[in-house]
Amino acid sequence: IAQHMEFQAQHLANIVWAFARVRAKHPVTQATMLALLPHCTKQLDTFKSQEVSSTALAVAKCFGHEIDHMEKRATNVGMRGSVFPSIEPPPVHAFFDAATPWALARLNEFSAQSLANTVSAYAMTQVSGATSLCAAVSQEVMRRYDN
């Protein structure tokens, strides 16, 4: 479907969020996500901060690790904060690779909810840029708190 239609940023974000919300780990959801994600990456400059954060969280729900599961496993093996092997497909990495500098340049435009969704998405995935993005979000939160 995606090859034959041009979706706007809001439509893409809404579609991937709806699929992830209903059955995130289902093969049809993951296949749909992988088909639409390159379009999201290509159109990233037309996205708003809420659309980027909701797309990132939807992708993380489909392909990332649940945070509670990660904490339990890390505690059980005595390695809090341990690194899990990367299992995310290349389109997921491509999206996050493009989204990281995009988000870093616009953190002041993110709502508190969008900041929270973005941090959750990066925490659930093993993608490059997670450390720098989370540190920058922390600074943004503290800046807002101080004002």
**Interval 131-142 mean pLDDT:** 96
Please report, rounded to a whole number, the percentage of residues in the chain having pLDDT higher than 90: 77
Q: How far is CA 34 from CA 13, 108, 130, 146, 147, in A?
A: 13, 29, 21, 40, 40
The SS3 of residue 34 is: helix
* 16 or 86, which is more confident: 16
Q: Find all residues with CB under 8 Å of 147, minimum gap 6, and list them.
A: none
pLDDT beyond 70 at 86: no
pTM over 0.75: yes
pLDDT in tens, 108-133: 999 999 999 999 999 999 898 999 99
CB atoms under 10 Å from CB of 69, counted, come to 11
What pLDDT is attached to residue 5?
Answer: 66
Instruction: Note the pLDDT tens digit of each residue in 47-78.
Output: 999 999 999 999 999 999 876 544 554 444 44
